[in-house]
């Protein structure tokens, strides 16, 4: 039987750790984040100018958006914010992505960058978006709600860009390096427990009781 401490250790060791994303650069800064870990699911995020119609398959129905709720959009934008750090190593160089909004593709403003993530068509023909506000002018990073016009190109604003989200090719975050998957971890602990039991010192078996001998008469 596997003890509770050993079972707890196996569960902890087999729990997936946050995957490290990779970044793609273009002439305008970071144009994509690959393998962004959002609660154990990996996403690819492409950043850049364009209109909602162009970037989101017409932008005329909720099925055009991979993350259809504000809460899901907020979770992804919060994960994106977490990996835009000062400094962030990319290709052997360090970039201050957090405090330099112009290092994000589609944003040229020195103070602020809004990454827009559409999630729902509203009743008035607009598109409900969640926006990750990054930069020095807004103070601490924040998540904002807004409505945009579907056919308006974000290129007319130098502080806004779209975040186009798609599932990563391997959409499940891997376990930490060197950690076995949960079944293997439990199997190894079970084998260890059996070996421990075989190697434990054993008491010699007691001889079986000799029933009735004391009451029999001795043979002369």
Are 47 and 105 contacting, i.e. CB atoms less than 8 angstroms apart? yes
Residues 6+ away with beta carbon under 8 Å from 63: none
**Is 48's pLDDT higher than 80?**
yes
- For residue 80, being part of any structural domain is answered with yes
pLDDT for 28: 79
**Is 188's pLDDT higher than 80?**
no
Residues 58-90: tens digit of each pLDDT: 988 999 999 999 999 999 999 998 999 899 999
- For residue 67, being part of any structural domain is answered with yes
**Distances, alpha carbon 116 to alpha carbons 141, 146, 206, in Å:** 14, 9, 78
In angstroms, rounded to a whole number, what is the distance separating the alpha carbons of residues 136 and 107?
Answer: 14
Phi, psi of 187 (to 5 degrees): -65, -40
- For residue 198, being part of any structural domain is answered with no
Residues 6+ away with beta carbon under 8 Å from 157: none
pTM for the whole structure? 0.68
- For residue 184, being part of any structural domain is answered with no
- For residue 146, being part of any structural domain is answered with yes
Average pLDDT taken over every residue of the chain: 75
Beta bridge partners of 9: none
pLDDT for 155: 58
Helix ranges (DSSP H) in 84-215: 182-199
- For residue 197, being part of any structural domain is answered with no
Q: Phi-psi category of 126—alpha, beta or left, where left has phi over 0 and alpha has psi -120 to 50?
A: beta
In angstroms, rounded to a whole number, what is the distance separating the alpha carbons of residues 76 and 129?
Answer: 13
- For residue 50, being part of any structural domain is answered with yes
Does the N-terminal peptide bond of residue 87 adopt cis geometry, omega within 30 degrees of 0?
yes
Q: Which domain holds residue 31?
A: 19-172
**Tally of domains within the chain:** 1
- For residue 33, being part of any structural domain is answered with yes
Residues 128-156: tens digit of each pLDDT: 998 887 765 444 456 788 888 887 766 56
* DSSP H or E run through 74: helix 70-83
């Amino acid at each position: 039987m596997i003890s509770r401490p050993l079972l707890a250790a196996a569960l902890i060791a087999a729990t997936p750790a946050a995957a490290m994303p990779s970044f793609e650069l273009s002439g305008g800064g970071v144009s994509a984040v690959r393998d962004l870990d959002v609660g154990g699911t990996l996403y690819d995020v492409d950043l850049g100018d364009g209109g909602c119609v162009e970037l989101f398959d017409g932008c005329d129905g909720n099925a055009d958006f991979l993350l259809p709720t504000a809460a899901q959009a907020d979770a992804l934008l919060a994960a994106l914010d977490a990996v835009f750090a000062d400094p962030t190593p990319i290709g052997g160089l360090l970039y201050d992505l957090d405090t330099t909004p112009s290092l994000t593709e589609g944003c040229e403003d020195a103070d602020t960058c809004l990454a827009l993530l559409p999630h729902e068509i509203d009743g008035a023909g607009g598109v409900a978006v969640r926006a990750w506000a990054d930069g020095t002018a807004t103070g601490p990073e924040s998540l904002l709600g807004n409505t945009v016009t579907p056919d308006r190109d974000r290129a007319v604003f130098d502080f806004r860009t779209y975040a186009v989200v798609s599932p990563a090719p391997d959409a499940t975050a891997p376990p930490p390096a060197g950690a076995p998957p949960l079944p293997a971890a439990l199997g190894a602990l079970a084998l260890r427990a059996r070996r421990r039991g075989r190697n434990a010192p054993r008491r010699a078996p007691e001889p079986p009781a000799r029933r009735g001998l004391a009451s029999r008469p001795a043979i002369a």
